[in-house]
Each structure stands twice: as C-alpha cells, then as structure tokens.
Structure 1
C-alpha cells in the first residue's frame, strides 16, 4: 500500500510538473525605456531610463509602412539596410510568442486573400476609441516643445539627378513614380499561421484587446510622418493609454538636409527621435531583444542611378 501511494505521488508529480512550471512560462524581456524631460530654456534634453519587464505573450510588434518601393530613391536605399535587422527582430519576437502586426498602409488589396489579413478582419466586438481611424497630427503633450524639423518639402533628400533617374525607372516598370508601392517588402516575412495584416486603427485596437496585449513596439518608416501619425501609430496608441515604444534603431525619417535645421539626414532622424522621447513615447533599441548592438543606417553616397 505504501509503495502504491508513493508510485501515485511520483506519477502525479511527473504529470503536473511540465504544466505548472514549463508550459505556462513566457519569455520575459528586460528592457530599458529611454525618455527625455522637457528642459528649461538654454538646457539640453537629457535622457533617462526606466526598466520594464515585458512578457512576450503580452507584447505586439507593429511594422509600419515598410513598402516594396517608395518615390524617394534614398529612402529606398535606407529601407533596404533596415530589412535584415528588422527581419531578425520580427522572427525573434514571433518565435518567443509575441504578436506581429504588419501595417503597409494603402496596400490591403494585395492581401485580401491572405490568412493574416483575414485574421485581422475577423476580430469584432472590441470597442475602439472613436478617433483611432484617423491620422493624428499632434497630441496635447507635444504643445510644450518646438517641432524639430521642417518637412514641408516632403523630406526627399535625393539629388535632382537621382530623383529623375529613379522616377524614370519606376515609370519604365509601369508604376506611378509618386506612389509606386503595392505591398510590404518581401524581405519581411508574414507568417500566415499567426501574424496580422492591417492598416486600420480599429483592427489594430481589436488585435491588442483580443490577445491581451499590454505592450507595443513599433518599427518602420517614416519616423516623423507615418510612424507618428498613422491610425496605428505612436500618437494614437500613446494618447489612448497603450504602453507603446519606438524601436529607435529600426526607423528612418523623411528629412531633407537642405531644410531647417540644416543638419545631416542622420542628425535629423535623431532629432525627431529625441522629440518623440520628450513628447510622445519612450524608445528602445532592437539589441535589447535580439542581442548584439543597436543598428546604424549608413549614409547614402550620391548616385545618378
């Protein structure tokens, strides 16, 4: 009888062990969220760090407007650099159990029969903030800081020769040089079994609520335009109480150094990132999740192509 009791206890331990201590575990990421205070006159905005633990199964990654093509030649070249480290982050987070949302705006027709698009469209019953379907140009927290870039020229930094040659190439491909994109870049994989495809704010909101998402990271382009302003972008999520961050080494701005404040393209991107850290949301770097070092986009050399 004693032997039988011991055997039952051992079997019970073997049965419940993996369920209690293994299967319910989620990957935890220890992140350092960087923010900046609004400085007094004459002072610089110094960064501050906040440590947070993010559970992978409560985290989503949004990939913003990583289109297959763009009207700006140099923007395409910088996007090509972003693909490999961004794909690494997407794969790493997906494998850990995070939710991946691909958001190539105005390209939903291309994905109408894709399982990831149908998955996003199938979610109903989650009430979303009424304004989340619209582009957001500014939120209250931005009022105290001067916007750091003049992007009124559209931010294209091609040389005239580059721009003309690129427009001609797009025309020869049968595309509209002003809007040549049709889908997300093929360098980023969309898992039909688990990912989502949407450019709709309400659908993104439903994804977050239905999956119990507590934390959102955003990668993609362009930092000062789509990443900030889209219905699924930083402003809309931040103002509606989502714990959202920008992955600051996997983004790029649309900024022309011939416009104010007359700094390099890379410096212009850094200034908009710092502005975001002051007024909209914290930032992280991809190496905090995948390891290694933060990614750095290399300057684009002049070309007549």
Structure 2
C-alpha cells in the first residue's frame, strides 16, 4: 500500500511541476497542409498551441540501424533534434521518448516508471491490436489515404551494393538525445494515451524516423493519434524515410521523403519546421544537394 501511495505521489509531482512553471507559454507554429482532392493544393497558416497542452513524441531515434545510410542520417539529425527538444521542453511541452522495442533498456528509470504508472484512461476508440516490429501497429487504410507515394517494399535501404542485412541493430535511444526528469519513455499506445490524458494534452507533435513506416504506424504515431482525436502535427524537417531511389517513383532519397511529407499533409495532419522554435533555417541533411 505504501509503495502504491509513493508511486502515485511521484507521478503527480512529475505531472504538475513542469505545467505549473510554464502554464501560459504559447507555441506559434506555421502549419502546412494540403487539400485532399487533387491537385492537393498547399495551404499554410499560423496556429497557436498552449505549450502545457502539447506533447512532443520522439519516434525510434535509435542508437543504430541495420541500414547504414539510415543510421548515418539519424546520427546527423540527432544533435539538431536535441536542441529543438530543449526548446520545446523549456517552453513547457511534455516530451515522450518512444524508442520502440527497446524501452526495457530504461526499465529502472523514473521516466519509464512514469509512463507505466500513469492512471488508466479509456480511449474513445479501440487502439491498434495487430503486431509489427515489436509493438502494436496502425496499418494503412487504402480507402482513406490511398497508397504511399514511394515503394518501400524492399524495406527502403538506400545503400548501394552490397545491400545491408536486416537485423535488430538497436539497443536504446541515441545517447545524443537527452532524457530529463520530467520526460516519459514508452512505446505502448495505451501508456501514451494514459500520459496524454493525465496531463490534459490535446496537441501532439511527431518527429523522428521513419516517416513512411514507424512515425505513421506505431501505436503512438500519426495514424493512431489522429484517430484518437488529438490535434496532430509532424515536424517535417526532423524526420526521414526508408526509401531506396532504385524503386518507384525513381526519385532521389530526399525527394522521396518530401513526397511522403506531402502525403501526410494531404491525408493525416499538417506539418511545420523546427525554424518556428529556433529562428534558424530548417534542418537539412548534408547529402541533400537539391
């Protein structure tokens, strides 16, 4: 009984402290979306979100990846992303680290226990139940979103010959992304919803990798959060795709990523860039010479 009370008190302290310090902070984000009907005209406008009612979910920014080119891009993005995470955290945004299938690495941390001990909240819909790659998965709905604009049926590694061997290379989140006391760690859809409900969060920002797979499909990803009725946005310069330019539509890797971003804007949620937080230019991979 004493242990349960202590857990509850610890959870409440973590829950209320950041919000009480940053209750009036506002995020001003330049959102971009697209009309669903062809030709999917671009639509832009500014929105204001209350920081204490907003969460940033960092998807699958692992310490390594079976595809060497994907691993290099994650490593390149890690430092800039961590700086943006700091900006969000300083403004009172709730940070959820979601390194799928390796959250057990953090089993003895307060951030992992924070997610596990959050009070149960009944979701308004049935959460995803089908398994894929170590978690539940929200599969594409062809009737709602058509098909993705890139062919990732070969798993999307952009490395040239010899092809990388598919394996579970990841053991934890990349060390370059700081995990602080008020953050949470989960890859579980119910736990994520419990956290959002406990903190009265209505706005969810997704970042991390890979957009055409995990950022869309994980149980804490874009599809699930939209279906849960959250206001969802993708930070489009802080993501990447698994796309091999040798596959259709035969464009370079970064154009392939842009095509998936446009797909998200058309069917799922608006996007913005880290420039809204940093005042600097949006992040761009060094190999992107367009």
Shorter-normalised TM-score: what interval? 0.7 to 0.9
**Distance between the aligned counterparts of 2:264 and 2:232, measured in 1?**
11
Partner Cα separation in structure 2 for residue 237 and residue 75 of structure 1: 25
Contact 2:22 2:91 in 1 (8 A): no
User: By how many angstroms is 1:89 displaced?
Assistant: 1.1
Instruction: Report deviation, 1:24.
Output: 7.2
CA contact (8 A) 1:223 1:253 kept: yes
1:26-37 to 2 correspondences below 5 Å: 26-37=24-35
Report how many aligned residue pairs link the two structures: 263
Structure 2 unaligned residues grouped into runs of 5+: 1-19, 130-135
Which residue is 1:158 aligned to? 159
The residue that corresponds to 1:63 in the other structure is 58
- Whole-Å separation in 1 of the counterparts to 2:210 and 2:239: 7
In 1, Cα distance between the equivalents of 2:35 and 2:258? 16
The structural deviation recorded for 1:25 is: 5.0
Kindly provide the CA deviation profile for residues 82-103 of structure 1, in whole angstroms up to 9, marking residues without a partner as x: 1111101111111111100000
Which residue number in structure 2 is paired with residue 239 of structure 1? Answer: 227
Aligned to 2:241: 253
CA contact (8 A) 1:139 1:239 kept: no
Partner of 1:142: 144
Alpha-carbon distance in 2 for matches of 1:278, 1:58: 25
What is the TM-score with the length of structure 1 in the denominator?
A: 0.82
Across the aligned residues of Structure 1 and Structure 2, the Cα RMSD in angstroms comes to 2.0
Whether the 8 Å CA contact 2:53–2:200 is kept in 1: the answer is yes
TM-score of the aligned structures, taking structure 2 as reference length:
0.86
Deviations 1:33-62 (A, max 9, x none): 11101343xxx4321013211111111000
The CA deviation at 1:159 is 1.2
Higher normalized helix content (fraction of residues) = 1
* Structure 2 residue 228 is the aligned partner of structure 1 residue 226: no
Return closer, same or farther for 1:200/1:146 CA change in 2, 3 Å cut-off. closer
Deviations along 1:198-237, whole A, 9 cap, x unmatched?
0000011011110011211111000000000000000010
Could you tell me which runs of 5 or more consecutive residues in structure 1 were left unpaired when the two chains were aligned. Answer: 1-21, 168-176
Q: In structure 2, what is the equivalent of residue 203 of structure 1? A: 191
Q: Match for 1:267 among 242, 255, 258? A: 255
State the partner residue of 2:45.
50
Structure 1 segments, 4+ long, off by >6 Å, are: none
Query: Separation in 2 of the partners of 1:116 and 1:104?
Result: 13
Return the match for 2:69 from 71, 74, 77. Answer: 74
Tell which deviates more after alignment, 277-286 or 50-59.
50-59
